[in-house]
Amino acid sequence: MRASGKKGKGGQSFGILILAAGKGTRMRSDLPKVLHPICGRPMIHYILRIANALKPAGIGVVVGHKGDEVRKCIQSSAKAWGISRPITFIKQQEPTGSGAAVLGALPFLKKFQTALVTCGDAPLITFDTLFAMLNHHRVQKGQVTILTARVRDPKGYGRILRSPVGEVLRIVEEAHASAKEAAINEVNSGTYIFEVSLLMSAVKKLTPQGAKKEFYLTDCLEHVRHEGGRAGGFLSPKSEEGYGINTRVQLAQAQRILNRRMLERLMISGVTVEDPATTYVDADVEIGQDSVILPGTILRGKTKIGKDCVIGPYAMLEDAAVGNGCTVAISSVRDSKILEKSAVGPFANIRPGTSAGPRAKIGNFSEVKASRIGYGSKVSHLSYVGDSEIAEDVNIGAGTITCNYDGKNKHKTVIGAKAFIGSNTNLVAPVRVGRGAVVGAGSTITEDVPDGNLAIARSRQVNKARR
């Protein structure tokens, strides 16, 4: 289907409206519902990304409850999310229902001939389904097409009432459903395609319903039908696509499904995921071919892993860049670079601002912060390296500590290439150890060590005969 196109009345133009003004009461949260993160991205990002990919002439977002927060989040992230289409924000003053939200958005909608209306709390809908639904809508020449889903437990959803020939007659909200209607397991996903002229007249006829006196968008169908229009259902291929997130239980379910999709995408691209049930990846994680992800691994943010790596078990990487052929076992790596053929862990803590490798080793119980560990250098055991510049082929002995903090300020430690730092050394920063220098085990180094020198800074051993 030609999605975008000529603007204005009577043209082929099509716009998308995303409803996101609801209070999200059932989340019991200070954070607006659509900003709750799923796989590292706010819930609303998923539908926005798909909306953008459908190439509409415009995207409108109805915001209300904490609307400024929602708007600011979208505006500041749109570029990072790859959203290029213009977004119009429409303020809904009071959360008086999905119908009221659309009524307020009519000035935006009337620019288009056809409108896809969807919800900010539906992160599991896929591009393929909406694309197929748009085609279906066009082919059927239906005036309203509703995305439906067949679910095992229809609780909480509007039920789809069909005529014997399959036309959608009505959508009955749960609160108003008879026992027989409540037993229907085809539900409304909250996504619709309308011919705008019909939507405009139908939405103006809505009347408040239920104890909360809400205007239900779903009631539009009856008005459309009264005016001779038709409503058709488009059944989503997978029931999960119809899920709306109203509670944190549903949030966790959506997270599990999206996580599974991300992992499947990675597996299909050539990554081995040994145990998808205990592996978690955020939306934009990238992993190269023939890398193996072992159980208990969490990959967050913009983490990018190269080819032929083994990550895990029990590794947590956030905004990490890992080169080809690296291993990271039972360790945490945040906002750092691990370059080619380096090994991290087990039990290493790599804190922000670190760059290690190529061919570096950071071993068990070592913590590295805001430091550069050069080519082939090793921090194999029980060390703390902070605010340091370590050149290539340096060996940091077990138990070495860079004393970078004097209680007020942080200072730098610089170690030249091929230096050897004996075990249990304290390097009191600011301090510099020269190229090829050797520091005796157990030293406390407070002064610079020139290139090639041996520094021993500990009291000499005294052996005394015992009586």
Contact 159, 172 (CB under 8 A): yes
Helix (H, G, I), strand (E, B) or coil at 43: helix
Backbone phi, psi, residue 187, to 5° = -120, 165
Which residue is at the shortest CB distance from Ca ion?
A: 244
Nearer to ligand UD1, 171 or 287 (CB): 171
> Does 97 engage in binding with ligand UD1 (CB under 6 A)?
yes
Nearer to ligand UD1, 252 or 277 (CB): 252
Min CB(60)–Ca ion separation in Å: 18
Min CB(121)–Ca ion separation in Å: 5
Helix (H, G, I), strand (E, B) or coil at 186: strand
Task: Lay out the site mask for ligand UD1 across 138-157 (x = CB under 6 A, - = otherwise).
Answer: -------------------x
Among Ca ion, ligand UD1, none, residue 98 binds (CB under 5-8 Å by kind): ligand UD1
The continuous run of DSSP H or E covering 127 comes out as helix 127-140
Residue 44 buriedness (CB in 10 A; 0-12 / 13-18 / 19+): buried
Q: Looking up tokens 């977004």, which residue turns up?
A: 87
> Considering only 14-22, 193-201, 382-390, 420-428, which stretch makes contact with ligand UD1 by CB under 6 A?
14-22
> Does 173 engage in binding with Ca ion (CB under 5 A)?
no
Structure tokens at 193: 């395609």
> Does 425 engage in binding with ligand UD1 (CB under 6 A)?
no
The DSSP letter of residue 322 is E
Contacting residues for 461 by C-beta, under 8 A, at least 6 apart: none
Min CB(96)–ligand UD1 separation in Å: 5
Give the separation between CA 294 and CA 331, rounded to whole angstroms: 12
> Considering only 116-124, 328-336, 390-398, 450-458, which stretch makes contact with Ca ion by CB under 5 A?
116-124
Nearer to Ca ion, 246 or 423 (CB): 246
> Considering only 74-82, 139-147, 210-218, 228-236, which stretch makes contact with ligand UD1 by CB under 6 A?
210-218
Give the dihedral of Cα atoms 422, 423, 428, 431; nearest 10 deg.
30
Q: Between helices 248-268 and 43-53, what is the axis angle to 10°?
A: 50
Contacting residues for 341 by C-beta, under 8 A, at least 6 apart: 323, 324, 325, 326, 357, 358, 359
Q: Give how far Cα 24 sits from Cα of 20, 103, 352, Å.
A: 9, 20, 35
**Footprint (CB under 5 A) of Ca ion, residues 201-260:** 244, 246
Tell me how many residues contact ligand UD1 (CB under 6 A): 29
Identify the residue among 40, 244, 288, 363 touching ligand UD1 (CB under 6 A).
Answer: 244
> Does 241 engage in binding with ligand UD1 (CB under 6 A)?
no
- Give catalytic residues, as residue numbers: 381
Residue 68 buriedness (CB in 10 A; 0-12 / 13-18 / 19+): exposed
> Does 236 engage in binding with ligand UD1 (CB under 6 A)?
no
Helix (H, G, I), strand (E, B) or coil at 385: strand
Identify the residue among 4, 12, 88, 246 touching ligand UD1 (CB under 6 A).
Answer: 246
Helix (H, G, I), strand (E, B) or coil at 115: strand
**Footprint (CB under 6 A) of ligand UD1, residues 117-136:** 119-121
The continuous run of DSSP H or E covering 344 comes out as strand 343-344
**Footprint (CB under 6 A) of ligand UD1, residues 311-340:** none
> Does 384 engage in binding with ligand UD1 (CB under 6 A)?
no
Q: Looking up tokens 């430690």, which residue turns up?
A: 413
Structure tokens at 312: 């895990």
Give the separation between CA 62 and CA 41, rounded to whole angstroms: 19
> Considering only 16-24, 129-137, 138-146, 389-397, which stretch makes contact with ligand UD1 by CB under 6 A?
16-24
Identify the residue among 114, 121, 314, 325 touching Ca ion (CB under 5 A).
Answer: 121
Min CB(245)–Ca ion separation in Å: 7
> Does 74 engage in binding with ligand UD1 (CB under 6 A)?
no
Binding site for Ca ion (CB under 5 A): 121, 244, 246
* Residues lying near ligand UD1 in the complex (CB under 6 A): 19-22, 62, 64, 92, 95-98, 100-101, 119-121, 157-158, 171, 173, 187-190, 216-218, 244, 246
